[in-house]
């Protein structure tokens, strides 16, 4: 296997890494920086800028600049860039990935096609799928999607010897994630994980921005929040001030010459670290609480944590460090930059895939509960969140009406009691249930997940022994490129193409030479096998071949009508 690079595709910043022998290393971008802003911009001239270039012009081109696209991953949000067209979150992300790929190629002096990309542990199936799709659009073979905190732990624990209980606290620009892992020799076991997909540095910026705006409107009586350019300038200032407060006791936010009124005004706002801490205290407090909850989920106590790993730029905030230190009576690790730790871990994971590093074993958990929908649109959990994989569990259900012959099993992932608020991973029908009064038949639903994160669900009527099963490739860890729904649709398309090819080849049987007939026969055989095995890769290949065949057969039809073919 060739080289696989590691990519931390962040909300705010992204990073790339590779294994230099046994050591993971950050790949600097074309400007020599070790992280690249995850910013994409479309300029007046029709250029697409990515990274620093995009971030630097955000002030003068607020409308054409896209920040924090990761927050939209997996949603059907559309970025409408007027004359530049409309883009999906996957497409915007793919621009970032393309740049990272190119920077890696320049640095390494070779083509890069394979990558491991990290995502927050709390990313759902659709968000992971969107990330894979972004990779595909960027021309990358996404070898694996791994959880950011797991990557961070790998980066540290790679150098920690022996046993350790590790807490990874990751507070970036847009997301918060915490994971508790244990390491014994070289075996990592993820014990639990929690997070919030909408909490990060941006929120601190917003709090500070709100305070500045409030203050300004009180002082001068004007509201500048509708002026996009001004707001972008102010945002930059606010973030800069926030970062300054990490190393200094106070900071100044200043915007000269605001001309929204008849006489030019200056905005000036001074803030101390303590004032800023008061603003964000509640947020930080909730991250500490989630960290404690994660430890409790794992059946452990705060004092069991031996190694505290901080990741994400916002974890540099002194209040984060002091609140964590007092909650865990432990100083955080400082060896690796918090902005780089995830990317470095991704490179280690990549080398585990190529076999370069083969003495590390990673055991993961299901970060979400998995179960089925029952009467009244309720969700019943069969495998609880944080269940160690591999795992197998079953529950017995029954019918809701007399002589009910079939039940539909809707497989869900999530934590809400209401089925509709969770994510559906797939459905299937169990028919052939024995006749009986409602509540009599016993239907056992079995969930099992193997070490690769592949979920298998089986339902069977205990009395008649009829059963039905479904395999969901990677319910949580390694996601299949294609969803269950898409799988069904591609299967149906191939089936209908096979039927058409058969019909057409029968119709033109007399016109087809022997080798063409053989080709058709062979294609139908391969396609039928792919349909039976639900092999998506094969099905996609067949789709193209079958469509070509139909084109050729149809052209025979056309020619026949033109009378150009003679009966052989
Ligand atoms: P993400 O994982 O979201 O892509 P990062 O881990 O790079 O991003 O974190 C970016 C966030 O960290 C931004 O909100 C940024 O303002 C914040 N940040 C970076 N450095 C500091 C610092 N020294 N003090 C406080 N916040 C910081
Ligand atoms: Mg990050």
pLDDT averaged over 10-residue windows placed end to end, the chain, 568 residues: 91 96 95 97 94 93 91 90 92 98 97 94 80 96 88 82 87 90 81 84 94 90 81 92 98 81 81 97 96 93 94 97 95 92 94 74 76 91 85 90 89 90 84 88 88 77 87 42 59 83 82 84 86 77 79 64 32
Question: Ligand 2 center to residue 11 CA distance, Å?
Answer: 7
Q: CA–CA separation, 434 vs 193, rounded Å?
A: 42
User: Is 317 touching ligand 1 by the criterion CB < 6 Å?
Assistant: yes
pLDDT at position 477, please? 28
- Using one digit for the tens of pLDDT, what is the confidence trace for 235-268? 999 999 999 999 999 999 998 867 655 677 888 9
Which letter does DSSP use for residue 417 in this model? S
User: Is 77 touching ligand 1 by the criterion CB < 6 Å?
Assistant: no
Catalytic residues: 8, 70, 148, 170
The CA-atom distances, in angstroms, between 251 and each of 200, 202, 556 are: 20, 18, 78
Q: CA–CA separation, 305 vs 189, rounded Å?
A: 14
Question: Which ligand sits closest to the CA of 238?
Answer: 1
- Kind of pairing between the strands at 307-311 and 164-171: parallel
Give φ, ψ of 156 to 5 degrees.
-80, -50
| 558 Cβ contact list (under 8 Å, min separation 6) | none
Of ligand 1's listed atoms, the one at least distance from the Cα of 239 is 16
- Using one digit for the tens of pLDDT, what is the confidence trace for 302-334? 999 999 999 999 999 999 999 999 999 999 988
pTM: 0.70
Q: CA–CA separation, 285 vs 249, rounded Å?
A: 21
User: Is 316 touching ligand 1 by the criterion CB < 6 Å?
Assistant: yes
Question: Ligand 2 center to residue 188 CA distance, Å?
Answer: 21
- Using one digit for the tens of pLDDT, what is the confidence trace for 372-430? 999 889 999 999 988 877 789 999 999 888 988 888 889 998 888 999 888 888 888 88
CA nearest to 38, candidates 414, 402, 365, 339 = 339
User: Is 345 touching ligand 1 by the criterion CB < 6 Å?
Assistant: no
Q: CA–CA separation, 291 vs 302, rounded Å?
A: 9
């Amino acid at each position: 296997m060739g080289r696989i690079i590691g990519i931390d595709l962040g909300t705010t910043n992204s990073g790339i890494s590779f294994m230099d022998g046994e050591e993971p290393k950050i790949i600097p971008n074309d400007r020599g920086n070790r992280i690249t802003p995850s910013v994409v911009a479309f300029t007046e001239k029709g250029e697409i800028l990515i990274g620093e270039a995009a971030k630097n012009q955000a002030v003068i081109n607020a409308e054409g600049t896209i920040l924090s696209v990761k927050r939209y991953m997996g949603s059907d949000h559309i970025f409408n860039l007027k004359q530049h067209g409309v883009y999906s979150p996957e497409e915007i992300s793919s621009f970032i990935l393309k740049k990272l790929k190119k920077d890696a190629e320049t640095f390494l002096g070779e083509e890069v096609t394979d990558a491991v990309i990290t995502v927050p542990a709390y990313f759902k199936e659709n968000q992971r799928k969107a990330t894979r799709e972004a990779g595909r659009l960027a021309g990358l073979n996404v070898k694996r999607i791994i959880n950011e905190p797991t990557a961070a732990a790998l980066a540290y624990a790679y150098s920690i010897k022996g046993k350790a209980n590790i807490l990874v606290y990751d507070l970036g620009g847009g997301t918060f994630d915490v994971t508790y892992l244990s390491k014994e020799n070289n075996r990592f076991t993820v014990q639990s994980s929690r997070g919030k997909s909408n909490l990060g540095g941006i929120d601190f910026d917003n709090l500070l921005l709100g305070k500045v705006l409030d203050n300004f409107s009180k002082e001068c009586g004007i509201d500048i929040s509708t002026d996009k350019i001004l707001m972008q300038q102010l945002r930059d200032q606010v973030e800069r001030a926030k970062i300054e407060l990490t190393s200094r006791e106070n900071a100044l936010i200043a915007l000269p010459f605001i001309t929204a009124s008849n006489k030019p005004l200056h905005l000036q706002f001074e803030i101390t670290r303590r004032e800023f801490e008061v603003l964000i205290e509640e947020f930080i407090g909730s991250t500490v609480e989630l960290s404690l909850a994660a430890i409790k989920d794992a059946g452990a106590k705060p004092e069991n944590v031996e190694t505290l790993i901080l990741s994400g730029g916002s974890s540099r905030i002194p209040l984060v460090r002091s609140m964590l230190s007092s909650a865990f009576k432990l100083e955080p690790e400082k060896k690796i930059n918090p902005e780089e730790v995830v990317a470095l871990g991704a490179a280690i994971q990549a080398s585990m895939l190529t076999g370069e590093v083969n003495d590390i074993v990673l055991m993961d958990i299901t970060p979400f509960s998995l179960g089925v929908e029952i009467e009244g649109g309720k969700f019943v959990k069969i495998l609880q969140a944080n269940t160690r994989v591999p795992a197998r569990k079953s529950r017995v259900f029954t019918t809701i009406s007399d002589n009910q012959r079939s039940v539909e099993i809707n497989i869900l992932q999530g934590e809400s009691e209401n089925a509709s608020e969770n994510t559906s991973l797939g459905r299937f029908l169990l028919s052939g249930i024995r006749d009986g009064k409602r509540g009599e038949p016993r239907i056992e639903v079995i969930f099992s997940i193997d070490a690769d994160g592949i979920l298998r669900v089986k339902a069977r009527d205990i009395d008649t022994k009829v059963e039905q099963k479904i395999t969901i490739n990677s319910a949580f860890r390694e996601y299949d490129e294609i969803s269950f729904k898409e799988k069904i649709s591609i299967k149906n398309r191939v089936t209908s193409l096979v039927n058409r090819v058969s019909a057409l080849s029968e119709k033109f049987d007399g016109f087809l030479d022997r080798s063409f007939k053989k080709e058709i026969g062979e294609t139908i055989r391969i396609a039928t096998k792919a349909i039976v095995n639900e092999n998506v890769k094969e099905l996609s290949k067949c789709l193209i071949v079958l469509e070509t065949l139909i084109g050729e057969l149809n052209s025979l039809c056309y020619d026949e009508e033109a009378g150009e073919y003679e009966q052989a």
